[in-house]
Amino acid sequence: MENVMSLFKFSTHIDDLIAQAKTENALSRKDIIELLKMPGEHSLDLFAAADAVRKEQVGDEIFLRGIIEFSNYCERNCLYCGLRRGNRKLSRYRMTEDEIIAAARQIKDLHIPTIVLQSGEDSFYSAEIICKIIERIRVETGLIITLSIGERSLADYQSFQKAGAHRYLLKHETTSVDIYKYLRPGCKFENRIQCLNTLKILGFETGTGTMVGLPGQTPEILADDLLLMKELDADMLGIGPFIAHPDTPLAGLENDAFELTLRVLALARLITRNTNIPATTAMGTIHPLGRIQALRAGANVVMPDFTPEIYKNRYDIYPGRADAGGAAEIMANLQKDYASIGRSISYSTGYRKIKLHS
């Protein structure tokens, strides 16, 4: 009887924590850790609370960002990424300026308002080259421009902004300095945070995020990740599962953190309220309904890939990525999937609501 009462009290406590989070009462680090560790039978309640907050804060529409992965060269040697400098098996490519503009026009023709230019950390694309690409996209398409090209100098960030870039994505990956140092040889966590703070100060809509299921990661570390996202007041959060690449030092590592990834995503929604949160391609890669489940757990953004087919499978950050096929096929599948859960695609710019943009 005593055990039954203890279980009842614990279950009630978890229910109270979820209710507290739903009504915008701040969760402590201890609360977050408890929700990350809670028994699986409470997960659906957590996801439902996050979904309700998503509906209240950002509505039922799903914002689209069209990605162009324009270079798979990378000067970093991160242990988890297929683009790492040390991967000699990867067939490398760099898109020309005209190829990038052609892909941007395709995004524009589909009425997607935002383009994401993403690459490895490739200094071949100097600030001058990137600015020229930004200017052409702005003039020739009018698209909202997001960059995801890694750590750059203050002067570079200022140049990108002056040229017309609006948003910048730079995932912090993990708040554990030890794990960061191990996974990203030669990189410093403090530099990453400095870049994120700089981007916020400059006025970029700034995105960060983490991978779930990294070797050595604990619920305590994930709680710190979530609190950092709140502290940075990030405008966009990329949260996805770690997927081991066969041509990296972490080859063969299993990751069964799909449900835990959904918990982290849901908690991110509850903690940050109106931040834009993608249902990542990685979620769709490790589970056939991964992106749908992410959208039901608090996500409100999808980022379809418009990299030309001749390059798409060579942007091999992890194996088996979703979004195969051409643009028309991808868009048709997205429309069908989202209609099935009562959600619709938005063709608005999708700025975070606290921002005052036209």
For residue 79, give both structure tokens: 């242990």
Residue 105 in domain:
yes
Residue 303 in domain:
yes
For residue 256, give both structure tokens: 């069964």
Q: Tell me the pLDDT tens digit for each residue of 219-256.
A: 999 999 999 999 999 999 999 999 999 999 999 998 88
pTM: 0.94
Pairing of strands 144-148, 114-119: parallel
Per-residue pLDDT at 357: 40
H or E stretch including 119?
Answer: strand 114-119
Per-residue pLDDT at 256: 84
Average pLDDT over residues 308-313: 94
How far is the C-alpha of 28 from the C-alpha of 39, rounded, in Å?
19
The domain in which residue 304 lies consists of 2-346
pLDDT score of 68 more than 70: yes
Chain position carrying tokens 């950390």: 121
Q: How many structural domains is the chain composed of?
A: 1
How far is the C-alpha of 336 from the C-alpha of 252, rounded, in Å?
34
Residue 97 in domain:
yes
Residue 309 in domain:
yes
Per-residue pLDDT at 358: 33
CATH number of the domain bearing residue 237? 3.20.20.70
Per-residue pLDDT at 6: 57
Per-residue pLDDT at 325: 60
How far is the C-alpha of 214 from the C-alpha of 315, rounded, in Å?
21
Q: Exposed (0-12), middle (13-18) or buried (19+): which is 127, by Cβ within 10 Å?
A: middle
Residue 328 in domain:
yes
- Beta carbons of 148 and 45 less than 8 angstroms apart: no
- Beta carbons of 101 and 136 less than 8 angstroms apart: yes
Q: Tell me the pLDDT tens digit for each residue of 109-136.
A: 999 999 999 999 999 999 999 999 999 9
Number of Cβ atoms within 10 Å of the Cβ of 75:
13
pLDDT score of 170 more than 70: yes
- Beta carbons of 172 and 195 less than 8 angstroms apart: no
Average pLDDT over residues 307-322: 90
Residue 355 in domain:
no
